[in-house]
Structure 1
Amino acid sequence: MSDEAAEQEAIDGIKFAHGEFRRVLGNVTPDQWTAPTPSDEWDVRALMNHVIQGNRWVERNVIAEGADFPTDDFVGDGDPIEVFDASMDDLWAAIEAATAEQRLNDWYVGTRTSEFMIHGWDLAKATGQDTNLAPELNESLLAAFRVGFEGYDRAKDGSYKDEVPVPATAPAADRFAGFLGNHV
């Protein structure tokens, strides 16, 4: 695959994943922002702040690599959906500029694709929505993560919990979530 084709595939992936995530986000009701998520440390509002932090991190690294992951409370007292949408507007602008200048690192774009899928699952689970998101994309992500995690020490890194067994007949999004340590 050419660099240009890989770049376009990454952009198509993030656009699709963003659409799926945004659809779930649009169904969150005001009383659900304090609901617990499958992640022990976050409620729905904190999960959204983490997703926005990720958007800002990728935006900054698409502009100039080397940015640290932000720890800011981007949501604060604001509307999480409006803050998310603003972060996406800035991320899209950074991706478009980097693409036009032929300097887009599609690895960063790919991280948002997988993050939108796993955190879309978290958000759907926390708010009682259908977790069967983007079956083909989640199947592809699960396969890629299985290969990428070969020899990876989850306990040492701490970013991911141990895999939780999920039936092979479960939807791909549930199996991907279980692979990343979420109880389905």
Structure 2
Amino acid sequence: MKYIRILGLLACTLAPAVSLAQSDKVLRADEINERALVDLLAPEKAARPKTRSINVIRDESSLAPAKPAAANLLIIFETNSAGLTPTGKQSLDVVGRALNSEKLVPFSFAIEGHTDPRGGDEYNRQLSQSRAESVVGYLSQNHQIERSRLKPVGKGPSQLLNPARPEAPENRRVTIRRLDN
């Protein structure tokens, strides 16, 4: 019984490291809200393990590195274009308010554009870069977010979330990734 208790305590101690990993869920326009974005992109505070009779010292180097804080968003663009649709702009208005929140103002972010594989690699790399730049421009112009905090990155079709369905909407997304300077 003692051993089960100690193993349970160890599992609770390691849980914060596991919870840092972000899911690959793509937030659609109706799911994007400030609180969810702040929760996904803000650094988690390390929780101190609660123990009565043991102190757990863990070797951080033995743990798998956590994925950087990120949010996958389905931002709607005009077909084969970097032009934002009204729905895309509404989603980015929520993103802009979140990035201007007290918890996120100190950080910089990569704005990654992703595409599906239709149209060829070079075309999609350029389209994804243009879309990332369009998002940065919109956030900078409409929400006064300093451009130095936002780094546009075109990923093209190199990181499909749904490789079984390459043309799936979740493969055409914008990922906002916190950069830990």
Richer in strand (by share): 2
Fold equivalence (TM over 0.5): no
- Structure 2 length as normaliser, TM-score? 0.26
- Structure 1 length as normaliser, TM-score? 0.25
